[in-house]
Amino acid sequence: MADTDKYRAPALQKGLEILELLAPSPRPMSTADISSAMGRSISEIFRMLQVLEAQGYIARSGEGFSVTNRLFTLGMAQPPIRDLLDRALPAMRALAERLQQSCHLAMRSGDEMVVVANVQSPGLLGFGVRMGYRRPLVLSASGHVLLACRPALDEGWVKDEAQRRALDPLALLAVLRQVAEDRHVAMASPMLDAITDLSSPVIQGDVAIAALTVPFVHGPGAALGFDDARAELLATTHELSDLAADGG
């Protein structure tokens, strides 16, 4: 008997398959949709859906199910991430206070960036990004920083991902090389006009372990100008990088 068969847990396997199916789904899936996608009968998955719902891993939404933030919350409890957040949040609050704008911290999760902490603007101006928000690395300022700020750029992966997202691979590589040189990026927000996403890396061991981003809202109500806001962001990420190098 193969080792993979020796320790099988069919119920656990079905539960994990359900979570992996629902997680990337853009909309809630009905029991029938889940059954069809998994190639299993409704009776096979009905009890698993009830257990996952009771434990808080999925929730009903209309006629279907979607994943909750429970797995995300568990992931955030890992000591390295928890320690990073403990260091970052006071500095993020101070940055938001100086800028009177929101900021958020993102980390890499596969081919996406995920927001792991955020601080809302203490003033009237600011655009906040919710905890757990995900976006492809190649389509976000935070993602560009996480990809570029490391000893070696994975050019093969970047080219493949660019083609998958209908982007120009050579243009994207050129942008990432510039980000690696500048140690920050400024790009128009994909969400709203009049917002520029300013992002800079938190470095540990020559690798960007996180990206701190300010969705900078332009306008007469801004407490600081764009260049001054960028300088404040860079000073904050330098501080956090020094703390990371010292082990907190």
Domain ranges within the chain, ordered by starting residue = 3-68, 73-245
How far apart are the C-alpha atoms of 66 and 136, rounded to whole Å? 20
Backbone angles phi, psi at 129, to 5 degrees: -115, 130
The CA-CA-CA angle for residues 55, 118, 231, to 5°, reads: 160
The CATH architecture one would assign to domain 3-68 is Orthogonal Bundle (1.10)
How far apart are the C-alpha atoms of 93 and 119, rounded to whole Å? 6
How far apart are the C-alpha atoms of 82 and 180, rounded to whole Å? 26
Which pLDDT score, from 0 to 100, does residue 81 have?
Answer: 64
Specify whether the CB–CB gap between 152 and 124 falls below 8 A: no
| Residues paired with 136 in a beta bridge | 112
- Domain 73-245 falls in which CATH fold? Beta-Lactamase (3.30.450)
pLDDT string in tens for the chain (248-residue length): 455 556 677 888 888 888 888 877 778 899 999 999 999 888 888 888 999 989 888 888 888 888 877 776 666 666 666 777 888 999 999 999 999 999 999 998 888 898 989 999 887 767 778 888 889 999 999 999 999 999 999 999 999 999 999 999 999 999 999 999 999 999 998 777 789 999 999 998 889 999 999 999 988 878 899 999 999 999 999 999 998 877 64
Instruction: Count each helix (H run) and each strand (E run) in the chain, helices first.
Output: 10, 8
Question: Which residue spans within 68-206 are E strands per DSSP?
Answer: 103-109, 112-119, 134-136, 185-188, 195-204
74 in helix, strand or coil?
Answer: helix
166 in helix, strand or coil?
Answer: coil
| Helix or strand (DSSP H, E) at 224 | none
Which pLDDT score, from 0 to 100, does residue 1 have?
Answer: 43
Which pLDDT score, from 0 to 100, does residue 247 have?
Answer: 60
End-to-end Cα distance, the chain = 48
Which pLDDT score, from 0 to 100, does residue 19 have?
Answer: 86
One-letter identity of residue 107: M
Specify whether the CB–CB gap between 105 and 117 falls below 8 A: yes
Which pLDDT score, from 0 to 100, does residue 3 have?
Answer: 54
Which pLDDT score, from 0 to 100, does residue 6 have?
Answer: 63
| 73-245 shares the fold of 3-68 | no
